[in-house]
Amino acid sequence: MNTKRTKSGIAGGIFLIGLGVLVITGSWWPGIMFVIGLAVGADRAFHGNYMQALTAFAVCSAVGLISATDIPWNIFGPFILISLGAVVLAQGILSKQN
């Protein structure tokens, strides 16, 4: 059996199931962020990158949760995204040096 093909289909399958649940429930936002985070996180986990999986799910869930609350997203959102981007870039640079 081709394990690479099986592993790459995990994210697509979870994403389609999540879209189906969103169609049934009708809660597109912030539900789509949870579906994307779950699909990307599962794909990363099946490839053995557990920290990337947790980070992807956490970021997508955080965006969904922040937008669902009364926190002014237009004020705090850009700073959160810029901070997360800086952390990801720093991790990428530091991992290349090792």
Report field, pTM of the whole predicted structure over 0.75: no
Burial letters for 1-35: b for 16+ Cβ neighbours within 10 Å, e otherwise?
A: eeeeeeeeebbeebbeebeeebeeeeeeebbbbbb
Residue 2 confidence (pLDDT): 53
Residue 20 confidence (pLDDT): 93
Across the range 56-66, mean pLDDT stands at 81
pLDDT digits (tens, 9 = 90+) for 8-48: 678 888 899 999 999 999 888 888 888 888 888 888 888 88
Residue 3 confidence (pLDDT): 52
Distant-in-sequence, close-in-space partners of 28: CB < 8 Å, separation ≥ 6: 22
